[in-house]
Amino acid sequence: MVRARVSVRAVEDRLVAVLGARQGSGVLLRPELVLTSAHLFEKGDTVEIVAPDGDGRVPCDVAWSGDPETCDVALLVARRPVLSFRHASPLRWGKCAGWQPMPRCQVLGFPRVQRYAGEELEAVQIPGTLMPLAGRMRGRYVLHADHHPPAPVPDGSPWAGLSGGPVFAGPLLIGIASGDPTGWQHASIESVPLSAVMDDPGFRKVLLERWPGAPAFEEISSAYPEDLSYEPAYAKAVKAAYSRLEIFGLDELSSGDWDLDTAYLSLEAQSSSGRTGSGPRRIEDLLGSRPRTVLRGEAGAGKTTLVWWLASHTVCRTLPEQLSELDGMIPFVVPMRSLAARGITSPTPSQLPKIARLPVDKPPDGWAGRVLEAGRGLLLVDGMDEIPQADRELARKWLAGLLRMYPRTRCLVTVRPLAVGSDWLEQEGFEELRLLPLGDEDIRSFVGAWHMAARLECDRYADEHWAKRQRKRLDSLEQELGREFQRNDVLRDLARTPLLCAVICALHRARNGFLPETRWELYSAALNLMLATRDIHRRIHQPEGIELTVDEGRQLLQRIAVWLARNGRAELTREQAIRQLTSALRGLRRVRAQGTPRTVLMHLLNRSGLLQERSPDAIQFIHRTFQDYLAAKEFQESDCLDELLLHAAEEQWQDVLRLAVGHCGRSEEKRLIAGLTAAADAAPDRETEWPLRALAAYCALNARYVEDEQYTQVWAGLRKLLPARDERELHALGQDVLAAVY
């Protein structure tokens, strides 16, 4: 069978010529489905179609034909694909909202007046203004051509052959050309509204049998051709911004980035809704059938990676089959940490394309609203837990209001497990999914992908002999680490999130197989790797004129981290960072002698691998986990554990508290656990008491030294509340406490 080779990309590529008893025009709906005019042929006629970029005439069968007087449209089925639709943008259908004239529409076809060299067909593109009211009584659209009409011909209309041609308003197909009304001297062209054709039960039945995914109609009042030219630029900017992922431990022991096609690991998730078949499944299988989803996941579980992967593959139309409904949609990524840092609480549709600060020009006025109104928007709200707890209700109201205004918008919200209640967006039709820890097979897959990406880094080496040695070493390390995971249950349990799995891979490579045994040792070794080993391995000495010891770098970063924690923020500006460094440098005379706070900040951004400036004047840690770890260390070193305890009931502080216990000495551990127990004893209700008891139990389990009396008191307090009443309470316990309790 001859296969279509040329691919449809623009709407104009869908134009075909129809050859029957009369010559006409048509539009490809799918590779084998054509819409044209019914009056072009009689029953029993042989019908063929040909595309300008096709490979010759293709025989067709008439699947449905309307009455030429009332519904002059026919549906043809080609006997083989006419063109490839591999890279085709989804076809969109429109209907006029109101009676106002719509300029900048167009009709395409192969009219008699355009023929050359005798009878050779040539395409025409007729721009004009659609006048919806002008054909109202006869159920027609009328387009008044912008240019001078063609000269009359003695035996018919110069537009003969245009019948069946598509009428487009921007990228939307709105009608099928049907005639040349008398009295207008060929300056007007009539068409059958596509919405009127779909109202015919017979046509609708035949069409949906062959095309179950036929698009819904979008109501339009203007053609907006500038949208059509802007959207490829927006898609290119989204791909540039989100197609590469920063993964710890690559690029010569720094925080490098790698292509998402290489990096993406399909994660397992589970529905909380009790749906049939709600057991663990791959996230792509679950998201496809859920237009609105709240996705909960631990720190480092891969929530942001999923958001980026969805954004970049949606605009490229390369999503897997389970998510094919999202292909070609317009993603709006809303990083909540950026909103909080910029003081934006309720972004309008016009602000959505700007929030992520993509490298693209300003969109046409009203573009985002039109995208949402048409149901083409994919709203990806990342990190609802990264705004202050007091602002989350305002954020919920903003999101709910936006989705009520644009009800066809698909939406994914990511959040940590305990940041918001289980019914937070239930009234807006959201379903909850929970990312599951990496299984043993997922860990093996991640280790393989990490080492494959590390081997790709070797391609950058100028010395091929050295590159070959490094690839061989990475092969050996990958096998070694795989055996270590099989042997060591503790290490395997530490690697249950992509972030910590990447940290383990990086440390295993950097330390020739020697690995830490606890979460805190892992983080400490990772920080040492970033702050000291990186430039040594790169043979970089005193970059920017600054040389920091590991301890000096850590202390500087701690000041930034603790400021973010105290202010409930995940980002800060350069000036805010400089003020924190100025304070820290008062006690770091050796560093202060090397440069100004501004120079030191530049060094940390360029060399630490832990800070990044993803957009102008918005500084953040590469991952929230490192921010929390360093903030916890600063609270412990500055004797501010009581300040931590004051915030123990606040979800946003609880990860910092969990990490603080690993920094504490013996007396500090006792003080921290006693403070959490006292706070739980004084809690006014179970909802407040439960997470405090769970925190106290976590700290008691992970403390290096805890006396029997205190240990018994902690577990007695938790056991009086058992069993957990719902999934939220189970989440609060965490894996360590769950294992001890159950």
Q: Which residue has the higher pLDDT, 368 or 738?
A: 368
Rounded CA gap, 376 and 293, in Å? 17
Q: What's the confidence (pLDDT) of residue 299?
A: 79
Q: At 658, is the pLDDT very low, low, confident or very high (cuts 50, 70, 90)?
A: very high
Q: What's the confidence (pLDDT) of residue 263?
A: 63
pLDDT higher than threshold 60 for residue 249: no
pLDDT higher than threshold 70 for residue 206: yes
Q: In the predicted model, what is the mean pLDDT of residues 581-586?
A: 94
Q: Which of 490-504, 633-647, 655-669, 676-690 has the lowest mean pLDDT?
A: 490-504
Tell me what the pLDDT averaged over the chain comes to. 87
Closest CA to 192 of 69, 109, 42, 106: 69
Q: In the predicted model, what is the mean pLDDT of residues 198-210?
A: 94
pLDDT higher than threshold 90 for residue 424: no
pLDDT higher than threshold 50 for residue 624: yes
Q: At 724, is the pLDDT very low, low, confident or very high (cuts 50, 70, 90)?
A: confident
For residue 555, how many other CB atoms are within 10 A of its CB?
Answer: 20
pLDDT higher than threshold 60 for residue 50: yes
Encoded tokens for 381: 């709200």
- Strands 431-435, 268-271: pairing is antiparallel
CA separation, residue 443 to residues 209, 245, 487, 592, 603 (Å): 44, 18, 14, 44, 34
Q: At 540, is the pLDDT very low, low, confident or very high (cuts 50, 70, 90)?
A: very low
DSSP 607: I
Q: Which residue has the higher pLDDT, 72 or 277?
A: 72
Encoded tokens for 399: 């999101």
C-alpha torsion 542→546→552→556, nearest 10 = -140
Q: What's the confidence (pLDDT) of residue 255?
A: 42
Look-up of token digits 């698909």 = 410
Q: At 293, is the pLDDT very low, low, confident or very high (cuts 50, 70, 90)?
A: very high
Q: What's the confidence (pLDDT) of residue 306?
A: 92
Q: In the predicted model, what is the mean pLDDT of residues 293-321?
A: 89
Q: In the predicted model, what is the mean pLDDT of residues 203-215?
A: 92
Q: Which of 186-195, 493-502, 532-541, 665-674 has the lowest mean pLDDT?
A: 532-541
pLDDT higher than threshold 50 for residue 449: yes
Q: What's the confidence (pLDDT) of residue 566?
A: 94
Q: What's the confidence (pLDDT) of residue 462?
A: 79
Q: Which of 172-186, 253-267, 514-528 has the lowest mean pLDDT?
A: 253-267
Q: What's the confidence (pLDDT) of residue 131?
A: 92
Q: Which residue has the higher pLDDT, 538 or 459?
A: 459
**What percent of the chain lies above the pLDDT cut of 90?**
50
Q: In the predicted model, what is the mean pLDDT of residues 353-370?
A: 90
pLDDT higher than threshold 90 for residue 556: yes
Q: In the predicted model, what is the mean pLDDT of residues 690-701?
A: 94
Q: At 290, is the pLDDT very low, low, confident or very high (cuts 50, 70, 90)?
A: very high
Beta strands in 326-423 (DSSP E): 330-335, 377-382, 410-415
Q: What's the confidence (pLDDT) of residue 252?
A: 42
pTM beyond 0.85, yes or no: no
- Strands 92-96, 281-282: pairing is unpaired
pLDDT higher than threshold 90 for residue 327: no
Question: If you compute the radius of gyration of the chain from its CA atoms, what whole number of angstroms results?
Answer: 32
How does pLDDT run across 71-130, given as a tens digit for each residue? 999 999 999 999 988 777 788 899 988 888 989 899 999 998 888 877 889 999 999 999
Q: Which residue has the higher pLDDT, 399 or 119?
A: 399
